[in-house]
Amino acid sequence: MADIDNKDQAELDPADMEDVEEVEEEETGEDVNSKARQLTVQMMQNPQILAALQERLDGLVGSPSGYMESLPKVVKRRVNALKNLQVKCAQIEAKFYEEVHELERKYAELYQPLFDKRSEIVKATYEPTDEECEWKADEEEELTDEMKEKAKVEEEKKDEEKEDPKGIPEFWLTVFKNVDLLSDMLQEHDEPILKHLQDIKVKFSDPGQPMSFTLEFYFEPNDFFTNQVLTKTYKMRSEPDETDPFSFDGPEIMGCTGCQIDWTKGKNVTLKTIKKKQKHKGRGTVRTVTKTVPNDSFFNFFSPPEVPENGELDEDSGAILAADFEIGHFLRERIVPRAVLYFTGEAIEDDDDDYDEEGEEADDEEGEEEADEENDPDYDPKKDTNPPAECKQQ
């Protein structure tokens, strides 16, 4: 076989040898590209490299590309005219959002009677009629008459065995616990207090006043504080910044103010008492010092950091306010309008479905890649270094 191979090689003309050399070079190039891809993947999995890359990209935002500098003066002049037009577009957009805010205020008045009845049902000041309680189940959830009758008898039996609950107990606490963004704020010592939360309302600023909205938390009388209502107001801005008009992207929260909670003595969950032992350097005696320090609690939500007049915040305060703004916006846009769906978990299932769809898209892409390999005439399954999971030996 070796003699035959040598003979075949000797009979190749120079042009054929050039083709062989080119193919070998191309194969070598593929190997280099493969190694480069592997190195790139390894680098992108390194958090320190990613952080450095993100910092570099952040530094490039707003920096000139060099292209503008290369343009003729007369073209730059026209580009400046386009930028002035863009500023006017931002000003019109600001007016648009102001009118949207007016519409929100208008429709909030239409929603409020429904939200008021929701509150009355939750706190048991109104008992809904049979007609109001009738809810048509989905087709897959429909039961036969016999099964319905059996379920009704079982429910009546359970009702006889225990006291009739008033309204919908722990409605808002359940909502909070079902939503990750809010449950992360809750501490165990907050839950007994939030059982007394009866309603949350959104109030928009009056016409002609600076844009803002207030979250109002209504509590029934309790042993923890004397306030009936706790409030949190978010101040918004809906006009372009004169120093950076192109950054305008709709209304933004500029600051927020909470309220004072009148805690009952010994019930303030935002503070905790700790004891420390101190040793005297000279005499060696030990004394115990009692100190009051801040404590993690949902109710810190009503004492946000103050934004100084210059707008500059330290890193920790900035992070707290950013999270605070997100929570306030989420309560206003999602929780208050759709509270019952977060109580039942249906709104959360919708959010999960969105993630599932993304996962299905990824699966489809993987399937397409597998199909491409099967349709590739040069594909050799024996050389595949990544066989399917079910083919790998344990």
- DSSP labels for 330-394? HIIIIITTTHHHHHHTHHHHHHHHHHHHHHHHHHHHHHHHHHHHHH-TT--GGG-SS--GGGS--
For residue 69, the model assigns a pLDDT of 83
- Residue 185: the pLDDT is 92
Residue of 331, 275, 266 lying closest to 298 (CA atoms): 331
pLDDT at 241: 77
pLDDT at 204: 92
Q: What is the pTM of this model?
A: 0.65
Q: Are 325 and 253 in contact (CB under 8 A)?
A: yes
Which residue, 141, 165, 161, is CA-closest to 153?
Answer: 161
| CA nearest neighbour of 236 among 209, 216, 259, 201 | 209
Residues 206 and 212: their CA atoms lie apart, in Å, by 9
Per-residue model confidence (pLDDT) at position 114: 95
Q: Provide the pLDDT for residue 123.
A: 93
Which element (helix H / strand E) includes 9? helix 2-11
Predicted confidence pLDDT, tens digits, the chain (394 residues): 444 444 444 444 444 444 444 444 444 555 656 666 666 656 556 666 666 666 665 555 455 567 888 888 899 899 999 999 998 998 888 888 888 888 888 999 999 999 999 999 999 999 999 999 998 765 445 556 666 666 666 666 665 556 678 899 999 999 999 999 999 999 999 999 999 999 999 999 888 888 899 999 999 999 999 999 999 999 987 777 777 777 777 777 778 999 999 999 999 999 998 888 877 777 778 888 888 899 999 999 999 888 776 667 677 777 888 888 899 999 999 999 999 999 999 988 666 555 444 445 445 555 544 445 445 545 555 555 454 444 344 3
Q: Provide the pLDDT for residue 230.
A: 97
